[in-house]
Amino acid sequence: MTRAAFTLDRVGFVVLAGCLGVVQFNLSAAQVLFGVAGLLWLAVALRDGGRPALPAFAWPLGLYAALTIVSAAFSLDPGTSLTDCKQLVLFVMVPAVARFCRGARAWTTLNVIIAFGAVGALIGVVEFTMLGYDHTENRPEGSLTHYMTYSGVIMLVLCSAAARLLFYTEQQIWPAIAVPALAVALAVTFTRNAWVGAAAAIGSLLALRDRRLLAVLPVLAVVFFVAAPDALRSRALSTFDVHDPTNRDRVAMWTIGRRIVADHPLAGVGPDMVKVVYADYRPAEFVNPTNPHLHNVPIQIAAERGLPALAAWLWFIVVALRDLWRQLRHGPMRAVAAAGFAAVIAMLAAGLFEYNFGDSEFLMLLLGLMTLPFAATRPDVER
């Protein structure tokens, strides 16, 4: 590799790693960095020629993107739906990370993500303890624009830090400090879907590392109920309350989603169209008159984009989990693979109660974490 080519590649790595850190604080800044990284990736791809090396899950993800565009073309409002498809550009995160974060750079990128996340966690804790963000009507948001986005991002970083702590036996001091800070920050968001996602992912990591470590989970639950403020305890207990309005609303949305799919099975109603037709499918006794989405990733995808798009998305998830599992068990940089595996598990579990796959900040970080293990298997960039 020539010196100029090496410099271009190194700049791409720095910009992309910065993007995955900054996205935890400011979407606009992260999008600028992502745009630069995307252009650099395109320049490198054109320079190198040939087909870029991609993880196996990139192909079903590409099919999902194509079926999304088909859905938009047949939407109830094609203009609105095609505009919403701009988020598909974020899928370029996969080839960009695969190219720029190879070898040891994957490890560095993971550390950058955790370091930025730890700072973001401190912001949330300060908001909760000192600035009055201490109830469900006013939740910590970090420096992001919505508590749901903040909790989803913190959930992913917490899972990554736990993976690093469990599967990398060296340099454990700072991740051991980051994990409690991230856990407290996640707890004080009052966001139950993120709690479920983190519990599922970290429980999976503990079982993979040593099944005996699963005994830690009930201990942590007891510590939470003993030490947490009353508001957090009440929020946790409301998860099991069938009369809780938000729980009833989730059930209502899922029912509405199934009805939409029954009427529009092939292409759905189109991206960003569920909120338009929601009232048409809502029985009078259901809770909210409208909702922007259905708070469930598979149901939302099926209703918006159709059953073929859902099948492609499920294929993407299965392939990703298969390959991440293999690398976690046998591949290099097991901690990086564990972080990617945990991120997918957390997204799936939380995604049963929230449409997190449609959140740009969350999606950028998720795709980055999923691709880093593949990038880690590729040779380091040489001068």
Question: The pTM is what?
Answer: 0.95
pLDDT of residue 168: 87
Would you say residue 136 lies in a domain? Answer: yes
pLDDT of residue 346: 98
Q: What distance lies between CA 53 and its chain's CA centroid?
A: 23
Would you say residue 33 lies in a domain? Answer: no
pLDDT of residue 382: 56
Torsion angles phi and psi, residue 70, rounded to 5: -60, -45
- Work out how many domains the chain is built from and give that number: 1
Residue 306: burial class (beta carbons within 10 Å; 0-12, 13-18, 19+): buried
Torsion angles phi and psi, residue 260, rounded to 5: -65, -45
Would you say residue 310 lies in a domain? Answer: yes
Q: What is the Cα–Cα distance from 183 to 147, expressed in whole angstroms?
A: 15
CB-side neighbour CA atoms (13 Å) of 202: 26
Would you say residue 204 lies in a domain? Answer: yes
pLDDT of residue 116: 96
Q: What is the DSSP string of 69-115?
A: HHHHHTSSSHHHHHHHGGGGGGGGHHHHHHHHS-THHHHHHHHHHHH
Q: What is the mean pLDDT of each run of 10 residues along the chain (383 residues)?
A: 69 96 96 96 84 92 98 96 96 96 95 96 95 92 92 97 90 82 95 96 94 88 86 89 84 90 97 93 76 92 98 98 94 92 98 95 98 91 57
Residues 6+ apart with CB under 8 A from 92: 34, 38, 41
Q: What is the Cα–Cα distance from 142 to 148, expressed in whole angstroms?
A: 11
pLDDT of residue 248: 85
Supply the DSSP symbol for 358: G
Would you say residue 287 lies in a domain? Answer: no
In the block, tokens 């930025």 appear at 116
By C-alpha distance, which of 332, 312, 257, 252 is closest to 288?
252
At residue 329's C-alpha, the angle toward residues 168 and 382, to 5°, is 65
Would you say residue 337 lies in a domain? Answer: yes
In the block, tokens 């901690």 appear at 335
pLDDT of residue 222: 87
Check: CB of residue 14 under 8 Å from CB of residue 103. Answer: no
Residue type (1 letter), 14:
V
In the block, tokens 């069938």 appear at 242
Q: What distance lies between CA 357 and its chain's CA centroid?
A: 6
At residue 152's C-alpha, the angle toward residues 150 and 154, to 5°, is 70
Would you say residue 90 lies in a domain? Answer: no
- Domain coverage including residue 203: 57-85+107-241+295-352
CA separation (Å) from 291 to 5, 46, 118, 273?
Answer: 49, 43, 32, 11
pLDDT of residue 2: 58
Q: What is the Cα–Cα distance from 156 to 240, expressed in whole angstroms?
A: 24
pLDDT of residue 225: 84
Would you say residue 207 lies in a domain? Answer: yes
In the block, tokens 């309350």 appear at 241
Q: What is the Cα–Cα distance from 159 to 344, expressed in whole angstroms?
A: 10
In the block, tokens 């918006």 appear at 304
